[in-house]
Amino acid sequence: MWTVTLDQAIIDLKSIIHRTIRDNDETVIASSEGSVVVLDENEWSNIKETLRLLSDKESLVALLESHSIRDRGKKPKGLSAEEAFGDV
C-alpha cells in the first residue's frame, strides 16, 4: 500500500491512478479530515464478490468445509455447474 497526501494527489492524480492500476496495489490519499483508498476497479469487483459470498451462510459453510477437508490432506468432492449454481 502506498500513501500520498491530498495535495500530492491533486497535483498528480493521473500518475497515482496509473501506478495503482499497474502495481495492482491500493493507494491511500490522506487528508486532515481522513483518508480514502484508491484501488483498481477489477480488484474492487473481486472484493465485493468475496464479501457477497462470505455473507451467504451456505457459501461460507461450504467454503469452510472444503478447507477443513483440504487441511486433512483430502480432496473435496466437486460439484457440477448445475449443482453449484442451481439456485442462481
What pLDDT was estimated at residue 38? Answer: 97
What pLDDT was estimated at residue 77? Answer: 77
Report, as ranges of residue numbers, the positions in the chain whose pLDDT lies below 50. Answer: none
What pLDDT was estimated at residue 10? Answer: 97
What pLDDT was estimated at residue 88? Answer: 67
For CATH 3.40.1620.10, the residue range(s) in the chain are 2-39
Mean pLDDT across the chain: 90
What pLDDT was estimated at residue 8? Answer: 97
- Grid cell listed for 79: 460439484
CATH placement of domain 2-39: 3.40.1620.10
Contact criterion met (CB below 8 Å) for 2 and 19: yes
